[in-house]
Structures are given as structure tokens and as C-alpha cells.
Structure 1
Amino acid sequence: MNEWLTADNILATIFAVFGLAASAVTIWYRPRAQNRKRIGYRVQMDTPFGNSNDGGDEGALTTVRIGAFGNFLEGLDDATVVLIRIENNGAETIAESDYTSRDALHGLTVVFSDRTVRGVAVTQPEVNDEYLLEHFVPAGPAGLHSSGRKIFLPPVPLNRNQHFKLLVLLTGGPVNSGVRITGGLQGGDVVRNKGVSIDEELPLFSRQAKWITAALSLSVSVLAVTIAWPQAVVPPRGCETGKLTVVGSTAFNQAAKALKAAYEKDCPGSEIDLRMTGTTDGLEALVSAGEQAEGRSPAVIAFSDGLRTDADRYQELEENYVAISTFALVANSSAGLPEQGLTREQVRQIFTGKLTDWSQAGGGPGTIKLVTREGDSGTQEIFERKILMGAQTVADNSVDCETLKAADKNDPIIHCKQDSTDEMLNAVADTEGALGYSELNSFEKFPDKKTMGVLSLDGQEPPSTNDIATSTYLFTEVEYAYTYGKPSTGSLTRSFLNFVTLESGQSIIEQAGHAPCERAEMREEMQERCQQEKDEQLAARG
């Protein structure tokens, strides 16, 4: 559900609903007043007779008249002319029988409040509506006639939107005196219309316009639903499905977790099982799986801190360098750590029991306690090879890192071992005076590091991932991804290995705090450094 709630899907849904609503309103909209029979009227002109406003295109007087205007004009200084528009603006046709006047001879009555009718004429209707004139004759009670302040109109049938106009000559009152039309309709109204501009009039759509609007709205809605509807995820090119087991270095655990999450998200149907319990454990699990696979490459990848080709049973393994990891000396800060850090010689003297107090190494007074990894740890192998350089260290002689075992009570310094990087960091954090080592990024992300500090080595701080390619800092090592033989093309093992060693996975590895060997902007420098690390390790093994 949360994956569906994206900004694009929400907007698509909103516009789909809005489009359907707009279409519905357009198709079914009809002004409320038009849902029944209705005659509307309005005064379009009310002016003194002789005014320059002649009504524009309102039409000429017909032969249907009450008297002749000219007969009434002499001496009538207060004469006014009014033009009235009467129209059917309802939803239904109005027949003669729809009018409800009591005398049954006329339909509507025009009433002037303060003026007397002197003459009235029907203006020329539209060409197609000329037949309407027949309803205004003959004169008399059955046709168009006036009396005093009133004009009596016959029951004129009107189709929808059909109209006629009255031009009336009046005396006895000023312009804009009251004008109203009375009368009734069966199931309808006679009302005064409000004069509005074209921009103010509510739109009325033709049937064709309504169907076009509906089709467009439906198209937009289908498009929006298509965008918002959960789609079947198509894996990117190179993805494979199935199950893969990834084992090995605890120092590379955070990077492995990030790689697993990214690959499984991009490649549905893939399942990656992480078992990061240590380099040696991982390599042994890989070899065991390879031996059981009977000549095939098993679905197992092992991450290793450093090159592992020393044992005969590893001869079938194929290494792929992935990144360079930086390691660091870490110590409990309770005793006051030496500001200048430690030299490799001082580290060797500490681990061989020649220096046992921090004050002897430039720090404050406090007993040094050693915390290291088990012998099958890749990190431990790197530490022994690069920092201790073969020096014989004090043996493991403590369970809790605080007290010596009874059999080792004469040892000069306490030394305890831990199974994983996190366990080592916990032991250093909890033990006053403790000294250990860790992959740098694991230390940086360790939740409880307030009581610990990183020590420089031979005057050098651990380099950032950006500086590793040119740094001379010693405590670094290549991280390798091992497979048993060469995985077949199209296998999940090959696909994940490509992901790890090529650009997409390399970016994730860098975010996890390791310097990728295939780093795009420094590819040549990083590959040279990775190869250099490999050559140095091979040379050290003879």
C-alpha cells in the first residue's frame, strides 16, 4: 500500500475523479429554472420618445398595431417608448392550453405602474417564427389589445428558446417606471429575467459537445487509472530469480545488507540469504557447497577480508576484488589515550606484553587490556600480517576481558577474543583500558561509541573512501567476493556477482563506507591500488 501512495499516483487519482465529476456536471447540468415550463421577460429599452437609441437591431414595426403612433404624439411631451422581450427559456414547449388566465381569451398581461399605453406593436420575429404574428390578430379581446395601463396578450404558443418583442408607446410617467407581466402557466412560472452579459451566462452544451466532453473525460480517467494501477514489476536487464546464500566477513556485513536490499527490490523473485559470521566460516561454507554441487558452481558467494588462496581446499575458489576496507585501532578512552596515537612498534610491544600501561605509550595511567578476534577472522589475519608482522602475542587468557584465567595469572597483560566485529566493539566500549581494532565504517556506525576513540597509526589518521587510492595508511585490505568455480551465465550467482562488482553495486558499497575498486571517477587509481594490495599479500605468503 505504501508503495502505491506516491505523488504521481495520488495526483493521477485526483485528476481522474475530477475529470469524471466535470464530465457528469457537463452532461447532466441544466439550470434549475429550466427543469420546468417557464416564460421570462425583461425590459430591453425604456427611453423618451425621439431618443437617439432606436433599439439597434430590434426590428421594424409590423402592421399589427393599436392606433398609429403618430396620432398620439402631438402635445405629448412625456411620451416614452419601451421595448419588452418575452421568451420561453424553460425546458418544455408552451402550448396555448398551458396558459391559466381566468378569461381564457388572453395569456399574459403587461402592467405599467405609472404610464398609460398609447400604442403597441410586435417587432418582426425571426424568419422561421413569422407564423407567431397570426396569434396577435384579430384585434379585440381575442387578440393583442390594450386598456389604460395594461396590454393583454393572446395565449401564444412558444417552442424552447422562442421569443417575441413588444414596442410600446406610453405617456403619463417617467422612463424606468415599473413594468411587470402577470399570468400563469400550468406547471410553470412567469418571471422577470435578469439581464446578464455573455460572460456571465451559464454555458449550455449541445448534445454533441456533451458526448465529446464525456469521451475526453473518460480517456483522461483511463490514462490516470493506468498510471495509478499497480503494475507488474518488470525486472531490469540482468536480473535473475531464485535463492542465493551470501556468507563471510562480519566487517562487510553492513555493505552486504545494503546490497541484498537493493538487489531484491530491483529484481523481484530473487531471495538472498545473509549469513555473515566471519571470513573463514564463509569460505568453508562455500567450499562445502561446491563439493556437494558435483562440478557445478553452487548458489553461494563468500565475502573475505583479504586474499585466501593459502589452503589447498581453496584452490577451486575464484576471487573477485570488490572494494578496499579501512581498519583502525580503537580503544576505551577511560584512561586517557595518547594524542599522537600509536606506532606499529608500540602496538607490537603492547600485544607481546612489553607495554602494559597506557602511560608507557603516551597516555594517562591505566592498565591496557587487549581485545582481538578469533583466529579464523579475516580482520584478525589482516591485523597480524600488517600490524604485528608475525610478532608472537600474549595468548588468549581471559573470558570477560577483565580478569585473568587462573592458569594464566602470571601473564603480563589481559587478552580476550571475540567472535564478531560487533562483539569486539562492545567489549572495547565496556572495558576500561581496552585496545582492539575494527573495520572503520563498523566503528562509525556503532551505536554505543561514546567511551571509545580511534587511534592514528604511525602518525596517520584512517583515510576516507575518497583518499584511499593515494593514501599510505597501512591498515587497509581488499575485500573479495569468492565463488566456487565460475558461475554459469544466467544464474543468480553470476547476476549478483556482476551487480556487486559493477557500477550499481559499487555505488552502494561506497555508501556503506568502503572504497569500491571500480569507482567510476577513479577507476584506474582504485584498480591499481586493489591490485597492489593483492600483490603485497601474495608476496608476503611467498
Structure 2
Amino acid sequence: MDEWLTAENVLATLSALLGLAATAVTVWYRPRAPHRKRIGYRVQMDTPFGRGNDAGEGQGLTTVRVGAFSNFLEGMADATVVLLRIENDGAESIVDSDYTSRDALHGLTVVFADRTVRGVAVTQPEDNAEYLMEHFVPSGPAGIQYSDREIRLPRIPLNRDQHFKLLILLTGGPVNSGVRVTGGLQGGDVVPNKGVSVDEKPPLFSRHAKWITGILAAYVMVLTSVLVWPRDTVPPRGCEKGKLTLVGSTAFSQAATALELAYEKDCPGSEIEIRMTGTQGGLDALAAAGRKEPDSSPAMIAFSDGLKTRAENYVDLKESFVALSAYTLVVNSSVKLPEQGLSRRRVQQIFAGEHTNWSELDGGTDDIKLISREGDSGTRDIFERKVLRGTKAVDDTSRDCETLRSGYEDAPIVHCERDSTNEVLDAVARIPGALGYSELQSFKKFQDKSAMTVLRLDDVAPPSTADIGASVYPFTEVEYAYTYRSPLPGSLTDSFLTFMTREGGQSIVEHAGHAPCERITMYESCRKKMDDQLRERHE
């Protein structure tokens, strides 16, 4: 008993009692806590349109005169405009898997009681969350759709307090007739809410809030006095100490670096080294380390763009899903192709040397110069499997990517190889007429990307991170993490693998531009990609 009666334990007990008291008061004052996940909506403007008035005047919006749209509004004398705000006003972020609609592609439905939808536009959010707009861009079944009195919205992920607005043109009914948003959230609700008007001035604190704030302040002061006593730092559960080396794909290096920084910050005593020199080099390094320690699993993880290609040399390597990644063809901005795209058949002809000048493809007058990854690159393997599909590319004919090297003066086209994704992008950005390929997120984060253009492939644009799983875009593949056999439980290797597949690591991978395979919505897509590659090898 005397051992328990320390100052630290007594203070901790008092702080706990104060916390319980504050909780009890909170429950008494608000017996029903709001859902932790909630989408709220409200109509911010509902006004006649096309009757000689200014649309939005007096609504706090920029005034737009409709005279220029008189021809468009013929036969729409009863047109009205609604500005609808939809926001996450709950306590948690909302991801696409939180929506419970039976429609796999859409999460919310906007319904008008007496009016017919004639057009809809999405406004840029004030917080400049540009990734939100990407979910409305794709056309077809995955994008925003409307018909009759309904608008179907994609499954939009919303961080807490994020929002977007819909500007909707309607006919067939008066202003202020019914508008509602329907849909379901797992563990939450979709409900109308109310904004504070300009004339309202809400009180800073209610009487009950003051009491609760006072109790919580006392709780914090007591808890702080406990925390100031010196003590050993305890790392989060699941952390391990030691050294670990990450090797492999340069296309995944940005995500690997972000994962390394996050793990070392949360887990003192861990030391992670990154040596991302290419898929094949990483797999070779892992296999060599394993042969030196045949009775254990070395502290090394190799990232690979796609499944390992020479399985007989890596029989002891074990793969794990990490993410689904999109790749893209890029050309120097001097090339101006119709619709800014190529078919896979046309790409095959170019890499086979059948087209040597962009004028043959209505893309300008520059000579075509091909920039590829080196032969052991995982990105190159994906390009050859997904795009070339058996077509043999011309040999490596150039050192500087601009002129033919000695011995290849009669080659039909300049074709050079580079050791990393950034080197490919640097050459494409620098050389007029250059054509290359890259992991999509590496291109987006490249410093001089304005000197290049992303190409559509088979008339399909590269998908956003959220749309990779459902997209028909052909140039995508799974990123794998390889270990030598199964790492020992409790090792740093095992802990880091677990970290990558848990919520924290998944969010880091997603922020780096890859779709985490462990997400429920992506797992089946990753599994299908793996099965497809295995089937290709047996054919």
C-alpha cells in the first residue's frame, strides 16, 4: 500500500477523478453526443435566373448578369439557380469506403422535389484542396451524374471541416421548393445543417461550457504536474529498435522516404537507411544478404514495381502487397499531338522505329527521341508488359539521348537508357521531341514538369489515386515489398511491414500518390493485378 501512495500516483488518481467529473457533466448537459462521422448540407442561395435580375445579387456572391446567356435560357423562363454547400461537419475524416450506398461508384444523391436539373458545376473549395476536384473530373459512370430531379455524387473523401459547393441550374418549379441530400455513412448520418448568418453573434461560452472548461482546466493542470516529473520515454506499441535497409524501386523512393521519416520519429532507437537504386538491384541485394544469413531474415526490405521477374533466382523472397501505382507516358512540350494522346499500337510502332519524326503523327516537326529506363528497371518491365506487349524496342543507340553513338549511325531512331525515373524525366524535359515514361507521382513532383506533357493512352487519361482501382487505364501495376523469407516476429523488419499496412502507414503511402492495397476498396484490384501477371508468365 505504501508503495502505491506516491505523489505521482495520487496526482494521477485525482486527475482521473476530475476527468470523470467533467465527462459526467458533459453527458448530463448533452445526453446525446453527435455522430463522429457526419455530412451536413445547406442551401446558400436559391434564386430566379433569366428574368432580367442579377443572379446571386444580395447573396454575398459575385454578381453575374445573364444577358450573355439569353439564347441558352430560351424556353427556360422558370429557371432557378441553387448554390448547395456539402461539408464534413462531424468529428472524423470520411473516406470513400465510409459510404454505404448500394451504388459502388456514388455516395450521395441530391434530390429536388419539384424541379428538374438542367446543369451542375462544382466550385473550388476555399481551402484549396485541389484533390477534391479530381473526383468530379472523370466522365462516365465514376463521375458526377444527373438526370431528372437527381444529382449523383462520387464517393468524395472529406477531411474534417472540408466542403465543396454545387451550383445547379433548374427548371419546373419555384424557388425555395424542397432540396435534400440522401445517402448513408457507416457510423454516421447525412443531415441538413445551419450556418451562422451575418446578423447573428453566437456567445463565446455558455454557462455550462464555462463550468466544464474550468473543470477541464484543473484536470490539465494536475496532469501537467504529473508529466513534468522526469521519466523514461516509452515508444508507441509495436516499435522496434535496430537497423533496417530499404532498397529497390526509384519510382517508390518518395513514399519510402516518407515512411522512413514517420517511423523513426515515432520509434526512437530505430535507424532506417534508404538505398533506392532500382527494382532489380534491390532484389539482387536482398537475395545476396539472405544467402549470407541463410538461417535468418536479414534486416532489409526491397520494393519492386510488379512481381519479381526471375523467380528461380529469388525462391526465398516473399512478397507483400504495398500499393497500386499509375504510370504515364510523357513528351517534351514541343510535341503537340492531337488530343494529347497515343494508342498503345502507335507507341509500339514508335519504339520499334517505324516512326522517326513527330510530323508523321501530326505532332510537330521534331525528330522523335526515346528515353527509357535501364534493362533491370521494374518500371521498364511494366512498360514492356503493359504497353509494348511483346513488341521489341530498338536497341540503346545513344549515350546523350540526342545523337546516335558510334556503331549505330544507321539506326532508325535515337534511343537512350537512364538509371532512374528522375533522370528519364530530366532528359524528356530538356530535349525537344523526347518521349519517355515515368511513375505518375514522380512526374507530378518533378521540379520542371511544366516542360513536359502527360499523354493519354488508348484515349484514357492517367487516373487519380482514388480512381486507380476502377480505372480501365492500362499502365498501372502493384508495388510489392519483398523480404528474405518471413521476418522474425518482433524484428524491426516485421514491425516496419506492419506499419506500412496499418492506418498510419497507409495514409502516408496514399499521400505520396499511391493507392494502398490494404484498403478494402483496393485489395481486390491489387489481387487481380497479381493474378494477371502470373497468368501472363504462364502463357
Aligned to 2:417: 417
- 2:531 corresponds, among 526, 530, 535, to 535
Do the aligned partners of residues 459 and 223 (structure 1) sit closer, same or farther apart at CA in structure 2, a change above 3 Å counting?
Answer: closer
Q: Distance in 1 between matches of 2:307 and 2:503?
A: 22
1:398 corresponds to which residue? 398
Name the residue aligned to 2:174.
none
CA contact (8 A) 1:346 1:361 kept: no
2:485 counterpart letter in structure 1? G
| 1:233 match | 233
2:331 aligns with 331
- 1:330–1:436 CA contact under 8 A, matched in 2: yes
| Alpha-carbon contact 1:342-1:361 (below 8 Å) kept | no
Instruction: State the AA in 1 paired with 2:350.
Output: I
Alpha-carbon distance, 1:363 to partner: 1.4
After superposition, the Cα gap between the structure-2 partners of 1:309 and 1:407, relative to the gap in structure 1 and judged at 3 Å, is closer
- After superposition, the Cα gap between the structure-2 partners of 1:223 and 1:507, relative to the gap in structure 1 and judged at 3 Å, is closer
In 2, the alpha carbon distance for the partners of 1:270 and 1:321 equals: 23
Distance in 1, matches of 2:231 and 2:404, equals 63
CA deviation profile, 1:179-227 (whole Å, cap 9, x unmatched): xxxxxxxxxxxxxxxxxxxxxxxxxxxxxxxxxxxxxxxx998865654
Matched AA of 2:526: C
Cα distance in structure 2, aligned partners of 1:335 and 1:309: 34
- Per the TM alignment, residue 518 of structure 1 is displaced from its structure 2 partner at its CA by 1.3
Aligned-pair distance for 1:536? 0.8
Residue 494 (structure 1) aligns with: 494
Change (3 A) 1:453 1:485: same
Distance change (3 Å), C-alpha of 1:355 and 1:237? same
Does residue 455 of structure 2 align to residue 459 of structure 1? no
1:485 maps onto 2:485 in alignment? yes
Q: Give TM-score scaled by structure 2 length.
A: 0.58
| Structural mapping, 1:66-465, within 5 Å | 224=224, 226-227=226-227, 232-308=232-308, 310-465=310-465
C-alpha RMSD of the superposition: 1.9
What is the letter of the counterpart of residue 364 of structure 1?
Answer: G
Residue 129 (structure 1) aligns with:
none
For the 8 Å contact 1:348–1:387, the answer to whether it is kept is yes
- Aligned residue identity for 1:418: R
Of 260-269 and 500-509, more deviation after overlay is shown by 500-509
Residue type at the aligned position of 2:468: I
Q: Unpaired runs of 5+ in structure 2? A: 1-218
CA apart distance, 1:419: 0.1
Q: Which residue is equivalent to 2:50?
A: none
Contact 1:335 1:363 (8 Å CA) reproduced: yes
Give, in whole Å, the separation in 1 of the partners of 2:446 and 2:404.
Answer: 28
Distance in 1, Cα, partners of 2:270 & 2:253:
19
Instruction: Summarize the Cα distance change of 1:540–1:231 in structure 2 as closer, same or farther, 3 Å threshold.
Output: same
Gapped runs of 5+ residues in structure 1? 1-218
Deviation digits for residues 353-410 of structure 1, max 9, x if unmatched? 1011112223122111000000000000000111001111110011111110121111
How far does residue 507 in structure 1 lie from its aligned partner after superposition? 1.0
Residues 396/231 of structure 1: CA separation in 2 closer, same or farther (3 Å cut): farther
Structure 1 residues 363, 261: closer, same or farther in 2, change over 3 A? same
In 1, the alpha carbon distance for the partners of 2:281 and 2:489 equals 27
Bigger CA radius of gyration = 1
**Aligned residue for 1:469?**
469
- Contact 1:338–1:364 (CA<8 Å) still a contact in 2? no
Paired residue secondary structure (1:356)? coil
Deviation at 1:272, TM superposition (A): 0.5
Q: Distance in 2 between matches of 1:300 and 1:388?
A: 33
User: Equivalents in 2 of 1:478, 1:270: separation in Å?
Assistant: 28
Partner of 2:416, secondary structure, is strand
Give the deviation of 1:337 after TM superposition. 3.4
Amino acid at match of 2:263: Y
Alignment TM-score, normalising by the size of structure 1:
0.57
Equivalent residues of 1:465, 1:515 under 8 A apart: yes
* Alignment CA distance shift 1:463-1:222 (3 Å): closer
Shift of residue 336, structure 1, vs aligned partner? 2.3
> How many percent identity over aligned positions?
61
